[in-house]
Amino acid sequence: MVFFSTAPSFFMLADNNTSTYSNIMAKPKTDVRKPDENAAASPEKTAFMRGADVVVRTLELLGVDTVFAYPGGALLEISQALTRTKKIRTILPRHEQGGGFMAQGYARATGRPGVCMATSGPGATNLVTPIADAFMDSIPLVAITGQVFQQLIGKNAFQEADFFGITLPIVKHSFLVLKPEDLPSTLFKAFKIATTGRPGPVVVDIPKDVQQAYFVPEFPESLDAVDVPSLTPPPVPDDAVLSEILDTISKAKSPVLYVGGGVISSGATAALREFARLTGIPVASTLMGLGAFPPDSPQSLYWFGMHGTVAGNWAVYHSDLLIAVGARFDDRITGAIETFAPKARIVHIDIDRSEHHKNVRVHVPVEADAKVALERLCRLAQKSGFQKPDLTEWMGTIAGWKRQHPFPFTYNSEKTPHILPQQAVEILNEETKGGAIISTGVGQHQMWTPQFYHFKEPRTFISSMGAGTMGFGLPAAIGAKVARPESLVIDIDGDGSFLMNIQELACMAVEKIPVKILLLNNQHLGMVMQWEDRFYEGVRGQTILGDPKNIGSPDNVGGLYPDFVKIASGFGIAGRRVLRREELREAIREMIAHPGPYLLDVVVPNGEHVLPFIPQRRSALGILTE
Amino acid sequence: MKKHTLSALVENKFGVLARVAGMLSGRGFNIETLNVGPTHDPQLSRITATVVADEAALDRCVRALGKLVSVISVQDFTTVDYVARELVMVKIQSTKETRSEIIEVADIFRAKIIDVAHTSLVVEFTGNDRKIAAFLNIIEPYGILEVARTGQVALTRGH
């Protein structure tokens, strides 16, 4: 949103007898304190700094190395200041939403807060979706937005929107900075809030006059130096409670560990693996938790929930002890709440006590950081001569389920000569040995990805889970690749989702960010189509993405719409379309080997359903496998 | 559904009331009364709200309120022993004939007359909702012109 009116210069001269900053601001042309070229890089040289340079310098002090910023009238000062830093790479997305998801991809791939920026009004409102998305999945995101001059706030000024008000219900916290001196401490607080306890998004809205003000900034020494009164450290779990949990485990016949994103965000992967080893309990993960536990372990139930494994879902259903760690009993996990793990004693370890009893009444709520709790459980088990339960029978039952229903997943390639989407993901898994960072859009391809790509390490599956935001995959992959340039980063996308942020092909090309795109192109909104087939007699309600009278498919190449390879080529990105099964593996190899960004358009038949499938509000026993 | 009195100690900053009220309204709770004011510590304000809500839904809401960065502490008083009062002002239509009658009724309710005009009186009194309802009911036939209420304020009993 680059447009800006001439109003700002007028208002710089407007009556401002109430504010010393405004007084300084009112005569920038005659002021001898010109912005120091190196102001952002070395504040020590000059006591006075411009607000925008203070923002950039504070970000440097906070260790930020990349920001995803779209300029505009009310962000101009900060965008200018960003040109004066040598420590921060500024990446230009082609839409603010893209920038928000790039920052999320950066955060999800590293655990470090992602930073995005946009101008006031429409620039800021375009960030609403990435912010809401980060809130749902507890992602540390700091969104810095320009705001109109304070003198203009509330006057329906050009590109004005009450962003502080708009984002209230979707942020962990937010700030509207009214005093320039508050900039350093506010940004420190924003980073502290975004990353402490359960992570989440924080908005910092900065009026243009605050960006323009000259003043002597005071930078906090560290995150510890800024005080956020209610941000108390999570309680250390009581040993007595933990010992009781260990006792319950010793006596359990059919226990299951249910692990979620909290295990990954607290860095508890090693502790989880150790705890699972010590107790022998099988591990079922949510999608957010994938990568925390090795999928090839005999204890792995992989992932459970609406499209998860039969064994995982049945194990949770039949469990007598369910230990949930860093998970929130989402409806896509529980199905019908009344029949969720009906016989289980439920232990719920979570850093956020508002999650206890929220969806499911639990027997033992434990308010604690997942890593702290799991490490302490391990230590107590080793110290106190913990009696490992005999799970031979239980593991036998689970092994039976795994045999009875292909584990983790399967598909039938006999019914069609064409490439099935599952197969494309499976071959990608083989060709990359499951070692790439994968992002996705939302829909069928998002479910096939974890079904057939087996995530071994945390922060390698990057997807919009809680919010389910289409268009997430491409920008998130860009952010992840920027954060972890040594890794192979692939966006597995659907044709519907891909179109939603396709403009970021320009960002990839211009910034030379070699992300790969494996497009599973079925010419439909596949997941909605699946529900139409199952529950709405196959009536297509706007789920066909091309010409409904000439639907493209591997059998009707002429109907394929749009021509994604041509689009990629227009953006300067290499690409290829594959139609035939025999070409697939070689094409995937070509994509991986290509040095720059690459689009592989895999044309797949429509009508394939994601299975297994637990229809909404059904119990795990009602799982559909065909 | 029962009426609940929520009491939250919050940062005395702009936007905090909007966050708290938004958390209630976003869940479809109608705020019946709402009072905000600074405490003896100028950094902090107390918000007192009364809502009629389903027990479990409100419990979730209270936990979510406790999570807000601007909220220091929050409690549903329904489960504890507490005192609550509300201040009400009522402008009542009056004539030479009815004025003394109204004053008599006000006396019974320990209400004070704080303004007298030719055709109206303003009466101020404090009480709980039952007392307020009773007074408004008794005074109604004289003609209530306007009512302003502070909303309930409450504190727990004892230490």
CATH number (domain holding residue A490):
3.40.50.970
Q: At what angle do helices A269-279 and A370-383 cross, to 10 degrees?
A: 30
> For the residues B67-88, what does the mean pLDDT come to?
94
Letter string b/e over residues B48-71, b meaning 16 or more CB atoms within 10 A of that residue's CB: bbbbebeeeebbbbbbbbbbbbbb
Q: Is there a domain that residue A125 lies in? A: yes
Residues A362 and A350 sit within 8 Å (Cβ to Cβ): no
The pLDDT assigned to A46 comes to 54
Sign of CA dihedral A250, A251, A254, A259: negative
Q: Is there a domain that residue A452 lies in? A: yes
**Residue A90 backbone phi and psi in degrees, to 5:** -105, 125
A11 and A92 both lie in a single domain = yes
Q: Which of A533-542, B24-33, B113-122 has the lowest mean pLDDT?
A: B24-33
Which chain A residue has the Cα nearest residue B62? A354
In this complex, do A168 and B19 lie within 8 Å of one another by their Cβ atoms?
A: yes
A371 and A452 both lie in a single domain = no
> For the residues A417-435, what does the mean pLDDT come to?
97
Q: Domain ranges for chain B, please list them.
A: 2-80, 84-156
The pLDDT assigned to A285 comes to 98
Please tell me which of the candidates B22, B26, B60 has its beta carbon nearest to residue A358.
Answer: B60
In this complex, do A352 and B19 lie within 8 Å of one another by their Cβ atoms?
A: no
> For the residues A160-185, what does the mean pLDDT come to?
97
Across chain A, mean pLDDT equals: 93
Residues A196 and A68 sit within 8 Å (Cβ to Cβ): no
> For the residues A245-254, what does the mean pLDDT come to?
98
> For the residues A132-152, what does the mean pLDDT come to?
98
- A168 contacts on B by Cβ (under 8 Å): 15, 18-19, 22
A to B CB pairs, distance under 8 Å: 40
pLDDT confidence band for A83 (50 / 70 / 90)? very high
- Is pLDDT of A45 > 70? no
- Is pLDDT of A16 > 80? no
- Is pLDDT of A20 > 80? no
- Is pLDDT of A27 > 90? no
Min CA distance, B106 vs chain A (Å)? 43
Residues A473 and A493 sit within 8 Å (Cβ to Cβ): yes
Active site residue A86: no
pLDDT confidence band for A14 (50 / 70 / 90)? very low
A173 reaches B (C-beta below 8 A): yes
Please tell me which of the candidates A169, A172, A353 has its beta carbon nearest to residue B69.
Answer: A172
> For the residues A451-478, what does the mean pLDDT come to?
98
Q: Is there a domain that residue A231 lies in? A: no
Min CA distance, A231 vs chain B (Å)? 7
Residue whose C-alpha is closest to residue A86's, from A107, A50, A57: A57
The pLDDT assigned to A626 comes to 86
A169 reaches B (C-beta below 8 A): yes
A218 and A90 both lie in a single domain = yes
Q: How far apart are CA A202 and CA A222, in angstroms?
A: 18
A317 and A446 both lie in a single domain = no
- Is pLDDT of A349 > 70? yes
Q: How far apart are CA A386 and CA A247, in angstroms?
A: 8
> What tens digit of pLDDT does each residue of A372-381 get?
999 999 999 9
- Is pLDDT of A11 > 50? no
Give chain A's domain count.
3
Active site residue A527: yes
- Is pLDDT of A24 > 70? no
- Is pLDDT of A42 > 80? no
Could you say which of A376, A404, A432 is where a domain stops? A404
Which chain A residue has the Cα nearest residue B61? A354
Q: How far apart are CA A554 and CA B23, in angstroms?
A: 50
A176 reaches B (C-beta below 8 A): yes
The pLDDT assigned to B159 comes to 76
Q: Kindly name the residue from A60, A96, A355, A608 that is annotated as catalytic.
A: A96
Mapped onto helix, strand or coil, the DSSP state of residue A459 is coil
Q: Specify the higher pLDDT residue, A293 or A37.
A: A293
Min CA distance, A169 vs chain B (Å)? 7
A257 and A124 both lie in a single domain = no
A281 and A191 both lie in a single domain = no
> What tens digit of pLDDT does each residue of A580-620 get?
999 999 999 999 999 999 999 999 999 999 999 999 989 99
Domain span at residue A304 reads 239-404
A192 reaches B (C-beta below 8 A): no
B113 reaches A (C-beta below 8 A): no
> For the residues B74-98, what does the mean pLDDT come to?
95
Q: How far apart are CA B29 and CA B58, in angstroms?
A: 9
- B42 contacts on A by Cβ (under 8 Å): none
Active site residue A340: no
A133 and A219 both lie in a single domain = yes
Please tell me which of the candidates B18, B22, B63 has its beta carbon nearest to residue A353.
Answer: B63
Active site residue A10: no
Please tell me which of the candidates A228, A353, A357 has its beta carbon nearest to residue B69.
Answer: A228
E-strand ranges in A173-254 read 173-176, 201-207, 214-215
In this complex, do A176 and B14 lie within 8 Å of one another by their Cβ atoms?
A: yes
Active site residue A208: yes
> For the residues A150-175, what does the mean pLDDT come to?
97
Which CATH superfamily groups domain B2-80? ACT domain (3.30.70.260)
From the centroid of its chain, how far is CA A287? Answer: 11
CB burial of residue A30 (10 Å; 0-12, 13-18, 19+)? exposed
Which chain A residue has the Cα nearest residue B69? A230
A232 reaches B (C-beta below 8 A): no
> What tens digit of pLDDT does each residue of A194-239 get?
999 999 999 999 999 999 999 999 999 999 999 998 888 888 999 9
- Is pLDDT of A53 > 80? yes
| Angle at the Cα of B81 from the Cα atoms of B75 and B85, rounded to 5 degrees | 85
CB burial of residue A13 (10 Å; 0-12, 13-18, 19+)? exposed
* CATH class of the structural domain B84-156: alpha beta
The pLDDT assigned to A2 comes to 53
Residues 412-471 of A with CB under 8 A from B: none
Q: Is there a domain that residue A626 lies in? A: no
